[in-house]
């Protein structure tokens, strides 16, 4: 199983933070760095939110091995031609190391704040399919970015992914839920005459070498997210759909996802200045899952 780092870019991640994260990933052996594509923090509207498709090509120029991409860019934010050209440009700068994740968008307050249209889900799903096809059409020259569709396993995202995507990414799901979604993807790909595309998962992560270290990381994560929960309470509620605890705990949880058909996991790291957890993922957890 492959592991990647996922950072919520709208949560006050500065350019210096992005550089530190990217360099840590390369130094410690984390193969991919993904980021959200949001302009507004739902936790603290005053937090900095640098644009995803301005940051990614800049990081591509500063790194040599790291895969970079979005999870996911909403179809409501940019016309397909703009998104296709931005991602293609970043991919050329990075020498073929860029992934474009696309989804319907979900944060209504963000759309209102920045003047983006936010129609009903049925319309956004139609836009997703149209824009996936359009982006593929615009990528008619040179190496193409890796195309990821994000969704919760509904036919409105799985169907288009089967037609156009290289990977399907789902969010905060349990291994049992992932197994069902993996089967849906396989059937959808079969209907359009393709081999099944890989399934990946983006989920919460807070790990440590000891239970005490892991609990402290989870406490800081909850504080960053504005969640007034005790770490033990969070684990009882969300633990089945998250990677939490010691390295042993994390490996056991990841093996369950692997058995469910998940091929890589994007580990959501909210306390983004904690580079020691990046080191832990790259030097110890990723090799254990290889």
What average pLDDT is seen over the chain? 96
Q: Give the CATH number, domain containing residue 170.
A: 3.20.20.30
Q: Residue 5's Cα: distance from chain center in Å?
A: 8
pLDDT tens readout for residues 4-27: 999 999 999 999 999 999 999 999
Q: pLDDT band at residue 227, thresholds of 50, 70 and 90?
A: confident
Assess whether pLDDT exceeds 80 at residue 124: yes
Q: How many domains are there within the chain? A: 1
Q: What is the pLDDT of residue 239?
A: 75
Q: What is the pLDDT of residue 134?
A: 98
Q: pLDDT band at residue 237, thresholds of 50, 70 and 90?
A: confident
pLDDT tens readout for residues 156-203: 999 999 999 999 999 999 999 999 999 999 999 999 999 999 999 999
Q: Residue 117's Cα: distance from chain center in Å?
A: 23
Q: What is the pLDDT of residue 142?
A: 76
Q: What is the pLDDT of residue 193?
A: 98
Q: What is the pLDDT of residue 67?
A: 98
Closest CA to 70 of 114, 7, 13, 139: 7
Does residue 180 contact residue 148 with C-beta atoms inside 8 Å? no
pLDDT tens readout for residues 50-61: 999 999 999 999
Can you give the residue range of the structural domain that contains 246? 2-289
Does residue 31 contact residue 290 with C-beta atoms inside 8 Å? no
pLDDT tens readout for residues 40-93: 999 999 999 999 999 999 999 999 999 999 999 999 999 999 999 999 999 999
| Mean pLDDT within 258-287 | 98
Work out the end-to-end distance of the chain between its first and last CA atoms, rounded to an integer number of angstroms. 6
Distances (CA, A) of 52 to 83, 127, 216, 240, 287: 11, 20, 29, 30, 29
Residue with tokens 């705990």: 249
Closest CA to 273 of 33, 1, 24, 3: 24
pTM of the model: 0.97
E-assigned strand segments in 83-198: 98-103, 146-150, 167-171
Q: What is the pLDDT of residue 236?
A: 84
Q: What percentage of residues in the chain have a pLDDT greater than 90?
A: 93
Assess whether pLDDT exceeds 90 at residue 228: no
């Amino acid at each position: 199983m492959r592991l990647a780092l996922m950072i919520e870019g709208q949560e006050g991640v500065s350019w210096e933070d992005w550089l530190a994260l990217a360099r840590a990933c390369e130094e410690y052996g984390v193969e991919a760095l993904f980021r959200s594509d949001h302009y507004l923090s739902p936790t603290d509207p005053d937090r900095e939110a640098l644009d995803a498709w301005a940051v990614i090509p800049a990081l591509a120029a500063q790194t040599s091995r790291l895969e970079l991409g979005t999870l996911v860019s909403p179809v409501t934010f940019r016309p397909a031609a703009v998104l296709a050209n931005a991602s293609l440009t970043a991919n050329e700068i990075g020498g073929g190391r860029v992934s474009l994740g696309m989804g319907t968008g979900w944060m209504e307050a963000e759309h209102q704040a920045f003047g983006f249209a936010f129609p009903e889900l049925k319309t956004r799903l139609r836009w997703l399919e149209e824009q996936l096809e359009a982006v593929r059409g615009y990528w008619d020259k040179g190496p193409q970015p890796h195309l990821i569709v994000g969704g919760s396993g509904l036919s409105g995202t799985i169907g288009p992914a089967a037609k156009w995507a290289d990977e399907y990414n789902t969010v905060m799901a349990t291994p049992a839920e992932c197994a069902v979604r993996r089967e849906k993807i396989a059937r959808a790909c079969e209907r359009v005459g393709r081999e099944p595309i890989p399934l990946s998962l983006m989920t919460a992560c807070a790990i440590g070498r000891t239970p005490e270290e892991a609990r402290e990381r989870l406490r800081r994560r909850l504080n960053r997210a504005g969640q007034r929960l005790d770490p033990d309470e969070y684990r009882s509620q969300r633990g089945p759909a998250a990677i939490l605890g010691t390295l042993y705990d994390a490996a056991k949880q990841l093996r369950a996802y692997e058995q469910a058909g998940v091929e890589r996991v994007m580990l959501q790291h909210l306390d983004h200045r904690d580079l020691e957890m990046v080191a832990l993922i790259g030097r110890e957890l990723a090799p254990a899952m290889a």
